[in-house]
């Protein structure tokens, strides 16, 4: 056996346990749920081919449409606010030399904490009677609110929590990008009399374009799949005000045991995410700048 072939063989052998793991736990379920979405499939044995009926039922379901619009609402506000905030914090941290690591750690701590644990903590923060948020507002004579029980406030409350949880992660990515921008550009701009805003607009933002697209893509992927915080904090309520697509999938697949319907909903979500990511990638290629 040639040395190169032997080396390749060893590499394949070393890779095979992970490959087997991926085949069993990732690719098989993906393929199986694609097939299952065309079947009347319950966890307890029923498996009858029904063509596109699950998809038809899905698009006729007002509940699914409500879940989609709620998810879109969550995505728009959660992604936009956390991305802008992350950039802003990264920009400030990049400029402030003192206590830099302290602030970086402080903002990053929520990222490494369990989402379920954090959701329970925030549920208590939002508690109408003994919650710390209402107590804080009462110091300014602002009347208390039932954050998670009011249909208009429930989703913004969940969004607020997720911004707090995720901003630190995107801030670190922006910070890495900012560190990669040469000081020379800013010095040259300062000599030319550019203001801070002009430096951000004409130097920082263009050079950070690939990073911004990366952050947006990652943030969108996360946001479309929002679930644990909804499950723990609101269970999709009140009156479905926080019902999101993954909650819909979970409820149909694991509460009502309709795996076929749940699979169809999963594939609709998958296609939405795929299309958005594709568009973002295309847009990024068009707008890509060199120099970072």
Partner 1 sequence: MNKRRLKLVLLLSTFCLLLISGVIQAKTKVTFWIDRDEISEFTEPTLFELVDEYNKKHKNIFIDLKNVMSSGSGATGTGSASSYNTKVMAALATNIGPDIWWNYDADMAPPIAAGYVDPAPSYVTENMKKNGIYEWVLQAMSMNTGKVYGVPHDVMWGAMLYNKKFFREAGLDPEEGPKTWDDFINYAIKLSKWDKNGKLIRAGYSVRFTGGLVGTADKWAHFLMCAGGQLLDESGEKAAFNSKAGIEALQLYVDLVHKYKVDALDFPRDIQAFAQGYIAMIAPREAFMIPWIREYARDLDLGVCYMPAKTRHASSGAVRMISVNQNSKVKEEAWAFLDWLNQPKQAKRMYVNNKQLPAYAPLAESPIYDGIEFKAWTTHPNVIARAESVKLGEIYPIIGRAVQSAVYQKQGVKEALDDAAAQVNKILSK
What are the C-alpha distances in Å from 241 to residues 181, 204, 288?
Answer: 43, 38, 38
Question: In the bound complex, what is the minimum distance in angstroms from residue 28's beta carbon to partner 1?
Answer: 15
Question: In the bound complex, what is the minimum distance in angstroms from residue 231's beta carbon to partner 1?
Answer: 6
- State yes or no: residue 119 binds partner 1 (CB under 8 A): yes
Tokens read off for 96 = 């402030």
* DSSP label of 203: I
Stretch that binds partner 1, among 17-25, 140-148, 164-172, 212-220 (CB under 8 A): 140-148
Question: In the bound complex, what is the minimum distance in angstroms from residue 221's beta carbon to partner 1?
Answer: 24
What are the C-alpha distances in Å from 151 to residues 90, 155, 218, 231?
Answer: 34, 8, 28, 16
**Sign of the alpha-carbon dihedral angle for 125, 131, 134, 139:** negative
Question: In the bound complex, what is the minimum distance in angstroms from residue 169's beta carbon to partner 1?
Answer: 23
Strand partners, 48: 40
Three-state SS at 134: helix
- State yes or no: residue 65 binds partner 1 (CB under 8 A): no
Cβ-based nearer residue to partner 1, 212 or 234 = 234
Q: Outline where the chain has alpha helix (H).
A: 3-22, 28-36, 53-60, 62-95, 100-108, 115-125, 132-138, 154-179, 183-191, 196-199, 205-207, 209-224, 228-233, 245-250, 259-287
Binder of partner 1 out of 14, 143, 192, 197 (CB under 8 A): 143
Stretch that binds partner 1, among 84-92, 146-154, 170-178, 268-276 (CB under 8 A): 146-154
Question: In the bound complex, what is the minimum distance in angstroms from residue 155's beta carbon to partner 1?
Answer: 15
- State yes or no: residue 129 binds partner 1 (CB under 8 A): yes
Taking a C-beta distance cutoff of 8 angstroms, is the pair 234, 148 a contact? yes
Question: In the bound complex, what is the minimum distance in angstroms from residue 150's beta carbon to partner 1?
Answer: 5
Stretch that binds partner 1, among 5-13, 40-48, 173-181, 210-218 (CB under 8 A): 40-48
Binder of partner 1 out of 218, 221, 257, 273 (CB under 8 A): 257
Binder of partner 1 out of 240, 272, 280, 284 (CB under 8 A): 240
Q: Per residue in 171-190, is it b (16+ CB within 10 Å) or e — as a string? A: bbbbbebbeebeeebeeebe
List of residues contacting partner 1 (CB under 8 A): 42-46, 116, 119-120, 123, 128-129, 143, 145-146, 149-151, 231-232, 235, 237-240, 251, 254-257
């Amino acid at each position: 056996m040639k040395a190169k072939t032997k080396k390749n063989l060893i590499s394949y052998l070393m890779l095979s346990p992970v490959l087997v793991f991926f085949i069993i736990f990732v690719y098989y379920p993906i393929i199986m749920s694609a097939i299952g979405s065309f079947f009347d499939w319950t966890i307890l044995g029923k498996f009858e081919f029904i063509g596109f009926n699950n998809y038809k039922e899905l698009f006729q379901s007002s509940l699914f449409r409500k879940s989609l619009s709620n998810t879109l609402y969550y995505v728009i506000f959660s992604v936009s606010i956390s991305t802008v905030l992350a950039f802003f914090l990264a920009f400030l941290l990049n400029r402030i030399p003192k206590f830099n690591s302290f602030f970086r750690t402080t903002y990053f701590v929520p990222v490494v904490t369990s989402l379920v644990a954090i959701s329970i903590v925030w549920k208590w923060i939002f508690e109408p009677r003994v919650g710390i948020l209402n107590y804080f507002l009462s110091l300014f004579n602002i009347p208390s609110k039932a954050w998670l029980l009011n249909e208009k406030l429930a989703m913004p409350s969940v969004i607020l929590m997720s911004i707090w949880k995720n901003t630190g992660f995107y801030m670190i990515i922006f910070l890495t990008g900012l560190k990669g921008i040469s000081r020379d550009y800013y010095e040259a701009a300062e000599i030319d009399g550019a203001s801070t805003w002009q430096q951000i607009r004409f130097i920082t933002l263009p050079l950070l374009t690939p990073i911004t697209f990366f952050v947006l893509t990652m943030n969108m992927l996360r946001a479309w799949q929002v679930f644990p915080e909804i499950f723990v904090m609101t269970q999709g309520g009140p009156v479905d005000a926080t019902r999101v697509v993954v909650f819909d999938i979970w409820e149909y697949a694991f509460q009502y045991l309709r795996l076929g319907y749940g699979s169809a909903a999963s594939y609709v979500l998958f296609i939405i995410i795929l299309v958005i990511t594709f568009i973002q990638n295309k847009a990024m290629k068009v707008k890509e700048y060199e120099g970072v």
